[in-house]
């Protein structure tokens, strides 16, 4: 077996495991979903610190700092995804900004904290939270899949060659089409609000913007992946870069449009 085939097999196994873990946690909701999101957020904060050039001590400080707002977001046993938790995220930014000479490290508290907050808001504060959170998460996967196959099949002009040489305009459009088609399937089968399906192309564009932004961060840091935690996939940020951009906007759209 060639190393390339072996790597593809490893990537597929890890990918299926990650999707399965996310699906079980999403279905369970409550403390199970919060725990998975909080662990992912703390790992993402560590990877973000690495991309900003933080020292090991600063990385640990950033991760410990994020434990406070994440703990308060715990549903049922704490305040949950509330204004208190949102205020503590802002407080984490201010604390890290004062405790370290790295403003970009401090910004990471919002970069990784807001998506966790937004997904918990969707899952725990909405009557149809399971459907809405699934829509927000799965549209990113649909966009990624559509972009991959359209880019590989069609090719053509590059989207942002200085940032990510492999991404094409065909992949970008293919991702938007796949994500939007997926949303309308949810409208048909599970009564997702039509307004959210119509807004899905915007979120698909944000998903791919999040991917490009993390590619920019990695290129600036001179690394291929945010970490080597997930075999064949890199780090947690590498897997969730699109969702980081999508989740907060999806939550805002739900509260603004799905009334």
Give me the DSSP letters along 159-203: EETTTEEEEEHHHHHHHHHHHHHHHHHHHHHH---HHHHHHHHHH
Look-up of token digits 């904060």? 45
Look-up of token digits 């199970």? 32
Distance CA 136, CA 202 (A): 12
Determine phi and psi for 102, rounding to 5 degrees. -125, 90
Q: Crossing angle of helices 103-125/236-257, nearest 10°? A: 50
Per residue in 101-121, pLDDT (tens digit) is 899 999 999 999 999 999 999
Q: Which helix (H) or strand (E) holds 163?
A: none
pTM here? 0.93
pLDDT of residue 2: 47
Look-up of token digits 């890199």? 234
Structure tokens at 161: 């060659």
**C-beta separation of 241 from 211 below 8 A:** yes
Distance CA 167, CA 157 (A): 9
Instruction: Kindly tell me if the per-residue pLDDT of 7 is higher than 70.
Output: no
Distances (CA, A) of 33 to 1, 26, 29, 228: 38, 6, 5, 24
Domain boundaries, the chain: 1-124, 126-259
Which has the closest alpha carbon to 38: 83, 68, 62, 79?
68
% residues pLDDT > 70 (the chain): 96
151: which residues sit within 8 A by CB, 6+ positions away? 166, 167, 168, 170, 171, 174
Which has the closest alpha carbon to 37: 80, 95, 88, 100?
80
Per residue in 30-84, pLDDT (tens digit) is 999 999 999 999 999 999 999 999 999 999 999 999 999 999 999 999 999 999 9
Look-up of token digits 């966009």? 143
- Mean pLDDT along residues 88-92: 97
């Amino acid at each position: 077996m060639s190393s390339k085939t072996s790597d593809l097999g490893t990537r597929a196994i890890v990918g299926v495991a990650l999707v399965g873990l996310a699906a079980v946690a999403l279905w369970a909701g409550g403390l199970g979903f919060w725990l998975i999101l909080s662990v992912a957020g703390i790992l993402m904060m560590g990877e973000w610190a690495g991309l900003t050039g933080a020292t090991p001590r600063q990385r640990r400080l950033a991760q410990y700092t994020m434990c406070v707002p994440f703990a308060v977001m715990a549903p049922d046993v704490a305040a949950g995804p509330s204004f208190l938790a949102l205020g503590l995220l802002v407080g984490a930014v201010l604390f890290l900004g004062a405790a370290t000479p790295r403003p970009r490290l401090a910004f990471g508290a919002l970069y990784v904290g807001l998506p966790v907050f937004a997904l918990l808001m969707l899952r725990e504060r909405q009557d149809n939270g399971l459907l809405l959170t699934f829509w927000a998460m799965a549209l990113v996967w649909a966009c990624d899949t559509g972009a991959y196959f359209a880019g590989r099949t069609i090719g053509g002009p590059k989207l942002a060659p200085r940032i990510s040489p492999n991404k094409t305009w065909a992949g970008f459009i293919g991702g938007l089409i796949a994500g939007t088609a997926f949303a309308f399937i949810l409208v048909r089968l599970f009564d997702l609000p039509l307004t959210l399906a119509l807004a899905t192309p915007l979120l698909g564009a944000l998903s791919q913007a999040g991917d490009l932004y993390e590619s920019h961060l990695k290129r600036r840091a001179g690394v291929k992946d945010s970490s080597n935690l997930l075999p064949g996939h890199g780090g947690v940020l590498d897997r969730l870069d699109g969702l980081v951009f999508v989740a907060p906007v999806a939550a805002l759209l739900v509260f603004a449009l799905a009334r």
